[in-house]
Amino acid sequence: MNRPYPWEASYPPGVRWDTPIATTTINALFESSVARHGNRSAIEYRDRQITFAELDQQVSRAAAGFMKLGIRKGTGIALYLPNTPDHPICFLGALRTGGHVVHLSPLDAERELAHKLTDSGARTLVVPDFPQLLGNAQKLAAAGLVDKLIVAEQAAWGPLPQPMPPPPPGAMTLAELMNGEVPATEWPEVLPEDLAALQYTGGTTGSPKGAMLTHANFTAAISTYNIWAEGQDALREAEDKVVAVLPFFHIYALTAILIRHVALGNEILIRTRFDADTTLKDIAEKKATLMLGVPTMYIALLQHPEIGKRDLSSLRMVTCGGASLPIEVEQKFEKITGYKVGGGWGMTETAPAGTNLPIKGDYKPGSIGMPLPGIVMQVVALEDPRRILGPNEKGEFRIKGPNVMAGYWKRPEETKAAFVDGFFLTGDIGYMDERGYFFLVDRKKDMILSGGFNVYPRIIEEAIYEHPAVEEVVVIGIPDAYRGQSAKAFLKLKAGTPPFTIDELRQFLADKIGKHEMPTMLEIREALPKTAVGKLSKKTLVDEEASKQASKGA
């Protein structure tokens, strides 16, 4: 494809694809925002507001504490944090030292946490005093995977319904870490090409890989989002209130909510978990203007009995990411609330900018939109990723832009295999129409997208194979009205072993895979289908489930 690209003719008035993309550091964006918006509220949490100036002071104190622990350029700090103010303080503090962040998910099972720490080399771990997370962190420390355990006490943010456990022996609190003096000298130099974060993304084979995202990757993604919004008169600086229920450890919320709106001087309403009633109150009573969610959240909001009765007039924009919103859900939400749900497509490896739907006006149902400014996307043949396909031909998406990751951490061969002609091969299958709109129709290598999270069948299969009664297993994705997709396990048991229930299987898997990876259905068979060469035939089971769904629909 040569310019002009097909999507340029379909771009909204006022937006140009070739607008220069600005790259800098996250540190520079934050410092500029503090200088311009110091007295504005940056964070609201448990009815407490923290101004940009106050946030800057706390970030400096955290950075000073991290530096005393030896954190510097090339060193990672693991954040095992849900959404609390501790996350932005520690995230921005780590970057101010010149170090980088390794995000751990509270959904991760113990072995996944251990793998990420071992693979990344991060030896400093920040964890809240929530009992389960603190307990997991203690196990990691006892296993020799953590040298410095820092506990963020939640009582610092206001009264709690019940007391939290004390920090374990040998750990220090985040308050203690931040209690020292802030150096009067300048902070270490940070460059756009420096590593900002390792975001682990599950592999279609093997264990999760760390996507190396630089300051330039993140700031390029923010720049392209801002160009897209500004051209459609949808960019608001120092005016918006953003509902932050999506987890900051996930790339979507990290970039599109935390970094972007800190840079814009907007207030972020931080919530530890999603609750439909709280979200409605944040809009109706606290006058939130922006809502970023995933399909499961919009489904839950539609099921709330007050959805059509609350005053949602403060909302300016509603978007969905992480997975495609079912058309019927999108239409119902617009009918009840009057708001069209926007969105697009992206990946951990693209930080996560990729495509977006026009903010104003109509667009094609089912489309994921057009490539954002500065981003080139192509559809290539599955058997030859160098052969570019024409309009409406299905193939694999490949993408190029300043937001695309530097590569996979310590995996040069996998990095090399992931790029062709300077384009990153996404593993997503779809097509582009004549107008430059992209449509996602399938996911390569069987990945399941459940509630906005990537779920990889092989990881579940390997965990199930550890059960002493299991002889063969196949895991596939099935439609799920709430999550979009969920995992179903097909098992063949060893001779003479008794069958078990889905609940018993989930209990067995509790310490092996994340909650978001848990199978929701189980089917035990005398035999599992195989191909002509004797391999387990996942395709046969996928086709069977599709036939069942078609029969239900009929």
What pLDDT score does 204 carry? Answer: 44
The whole-model pTM stands at 0.87
**Is 194 a domain residue?**
no
**Is 360 a domain residue?**
no
What pLDDT score does 533 carry? Answer: 53
In this predicted model, which residue has the larger pLDDT, 365 or 195? Answer: 195
pLDDT at 163 over 80: yes
Domain of residue 509 covers 447-553
Which residues are within 8 A (CB) of 342 and not within 5 positions of it... i.e. 6 or more apart? 317, 318, 319, 320, 356, 357, 359
**Is 483 a domain residue?**
yes
Percentage with pLDDT > 90 across the chain: 77
Give the pLDDT band (50/70/90) at residue 2: confident
Rounded Cα distance, 362 and 11, in Å: 12
Q: What is the pLDDT of residues 24-75, one digit of tens each?
A: 999 999 999 999 999 999 999 999 999 999 999 999 999 999 999 999 999 9
pLDDT at 435 over 80: yes
**Is 398 a domain residue?**
no
Torsion angle defined by CA atoms of residues 490, 494, 498 and 502, in that order, rounded to the nearest 10 degrees: -20
Q: For the chain, what is the domain count?
A: 1
**Is 85 a domain residue?**
no
Rounded Cα distance, 304 and 299, in Å: 9
Q: Which of 56-70, 272-286, 295-309 has the lowest mean pLDDT?
A: 295-309
Q: Average pLDDT of the chain? A: 93
Give the CATH number, domain containing residue 533: 3.30.300.30
Tokens 């999603």: give the residue: 274
- The strand pairing partners of 439, in sequence order, are 431
**Is 535 a domain residue?**
yes
**Is 397 a domain residue?**
no
**Is 356 a domain residue?**
no
Q: What is the pLDDT of residues 391-406, one digit of tens each?
A: 999 999 999 999 999 9
Q: What is the pLDDT of residues 132-147, one digit of tens each?
A: 999 999 999 999 999 9
Rounded Cα distance, 61 and 89, in Å: 9
pLDDT at 205 over 60: no
